[in-house]
Chains A and B, each alone.
Chain A
Amino acid sequence: MVKENLVKDVVKEPYKYGFVTDIETEKIAKGLNENIIKLISQKKEEPKYLLDFRLNAFKKWQKMKEPDWAGLGYKQIDYQDIIYYSAPKQKEKISSLDEVDPKLLETFDKLGIPLTEQKKLTNVAVDAVFDSVSIATTFREELAEHGVIFCSISEAVKNHSDLIEKYLGTVVPASDNYFAALNSAVFSDGSFVYIPKGVTCPMDLSSYFRINSGDSGQFERTLIIAEESSSVSYLEGCTAPMFDTNTLHAAVVELIALDDASIKYSTVQNWYAGDEEGIGGIFNFVTKRGKCLGKRSKISWSQVETGSAITWKYPSCLLLGEESVGEFYSVALTNNLQQADTGTKMIHIGPKTKSTIVSKGISAGNSINSYRGLVKMGTKAKGSRNYSQCDSMLIGDQASANTFPYIKSQQPNSEIEHEASTCRISEDQLFYLQSRGIEFEEAVSMMVSGFCRDVFNQLPMEFAAEADKLLALKLEGSVG
Chain B
Amino acid sequence: MEIIEKIKTNKSIDNQTEIQKICLDKLRSRPLPNPKSEQWRLANKSKFSNFLDYPVNEKNPKFDTPFPNTSKSTIRLVIGNNCQINLIEKNYSIQQLTQDELDKYIKSQIFCFDQNENWSDLLNLSLSNAKNILGLKINGSKIPPIEIFSHSSGNSLNAKTLVIFLEKNCDVELLQVNLGKENSSLSQLTYFCLEENSSLNHGVVSYGENRSNLLNSLKVIQQKNSEYNLGSLHFKFDYARFEISIKQSDGYAKTNIKGMQVTKKDEQISTYTKIEFNGPNGFLDQINKSLADDESHAIFEGSIIVPKIAQKTDASQLSRNLLLSNLAQIDTKPQLEIIADDVKCKHGATISQLNEDELFYMRSRGITLPEASKLQLSSYFQEIISFIPISKDRWDLLDKLLNEK
Contacts and interface: CB of A to CB of B under 8 A. Distances in A.
Interface of A: 69, 377, 379, 392, 394-424
Interface residues of B, number: 36
Give the 10 A-B CB pairs with smallest separation, nearest first.
A394-B341, A418-B349, A400-B339, A421-B346, A412-B323, A422-B345, A416-B351, A419-B348, A409-B351, A403-B336
Given A403-B347, A407-B331, 18 more contacts: A396-B341, A397-B339, A397-B341, A400-B338, A401-B336, A402-B338, A404-B335, A405-B333, A405-B335, A407-B330, A410-B323, A416-B350, A419-B346, A420-B346, A421-B344, A422-B336, A422-B338, A422-B346
Nearest to B334: A405
Given A402-B338, A406-B331, A418 B348 contact: yes
Contact of B335 (A392, A395, A403, A412): A403
Nearest to A404: B335
Contact of B349 (A405, A410, A413): A405
7 contacts: A397-B308, A409-B323, A411-B326, A412-B325, A422-B344, A422-B346, A423-B344
Contacts of B338: 392, 394, 400-402, 422
B353 interface: yes
Contact of A407 (B328, B332, B341, B353): B332
B329 A415 contact: no
Contacts of A414: 323, 351-352
Interface in B130-186: none
B311 interface: yes
A423 B306 CA distance: 13
Contacts of B331: 406-409
Nearest to B346: A421
B329 A410 contact: yes
Nearest to B354: A412
Nearest to A374: B333
Contacts of B342: 397, 424
B35 to A, nearest CB: 14
Contacts of B325: 412
B356 to A, nearest CB: 10
A399 B333 contact: no
B347 A420 contact: yes
A417 B334 CA distance: 12
Chain B binding site: helix, strand, loop or mixed by DSSP?
A: strand
B346 to A, nearest CB: 4
Nearest to B301: A406
A421 B321 contact: no
B346 A411 contact: no
B351 A395 contact: no
Nearest to A422: B345
A414 B324 CA distance: 11
Contacts of A420: 334, 336, 346-348
A71 to B, nearest CB: 10
Interface string B222-245: 000000000000000000000000
A406 B333 CA distance: 5
A395 B350 contact: no
B397 interface: no
Nearest to A393: B341
Contacts of B349: 405, 407, 416-419
Interface of B: 38, 308, 311, 319, 321, 323-353
A325 to B, nearest CB: 19
A395 B331 CA distance: 32
A87 to B, nearest CB: 40
Given A379-B326, A411-B326, A422-B346, A402 B337 contact: yes
B328 A412 contact: yes
Nearest to A424: B341
A433 to B, nearest CB: 19
Contacts of A404: 333, 335
Contacts of B337: 400, 402
A399 B323 CA distance: 37
A407 B300 CA distance: 10
B326 A407 contact: no
B339 A399 contact: yes
Contacts of A401: 336, 338-339
Given A401-B336, A412-B328, A415-B351, A395 B341 contact: yes
A397 B343 CA distance: 10
Nearest to A423: B344
Contacts of A407: 319, 330-333, 349, 351
A59 B184 CA distance: 47
Contacts of A403: 334-336, 347
A430 B325 CA distance: 50
Contacts of B346: 419-422
A412 B348 contact: no
Contacts of A424: 341-343
Nearest to B345: A422
Contacts of A400: 337-339
Contacts of B329: 408-410
Nearest to B37: A69
Contact of B352 (A395, A398, A399, A416): A416
B211 to A, nearest CB: 24
A409 B349 CA distance: 12
Nearest to A377: B351
B399 to A, nearest CB: 24
Nearest to A402: B337
Contacts of A408: 329-332
The residue in A394, A402, A403, A406 that gathers the most chain B C-beta atoms within 10 A of its C-beta is A403
A96 B21 CA distance: 79
Contacts of A415: 350-352
A395 B321 CA distance: 34
A421 B338 CA distance: 11
A318 B349 CA distance: 21
A338 to B, nearest CB: 15
B38 to A, nearest CB: 8
A124 to B, nearest CB: 39
Specify which of A395, A404, A410 lies most central, judged by the most chain B CB atoms within 10 Å of its CB: A410
Contacts of B323: 409-412, 414
A404 B334 CA distance: 7
B335 A397 contact: no
A409 B346 CA distance: 22
A15 B285 CA distance: 43
Contacts of A399: 339, 341
Contact of B336 (A69, A397, A402, A410): A402
A406 B301 CA distance: 9
Contacts of B336: 392, 401-403, 420, 422
A18 B343 CA distance: 36
A406 B351 CA distance: 12
A409 B330 contact: yes
Given A394-B341, A397-B308, A402 B328 contact: no
A410 B299 CA distance: 12
Contact of A398 (B327, B333, B339, B353): B339
Contacts of A419: 346-349
Contacts of B332: 407-408
A409 B321 contact: yes
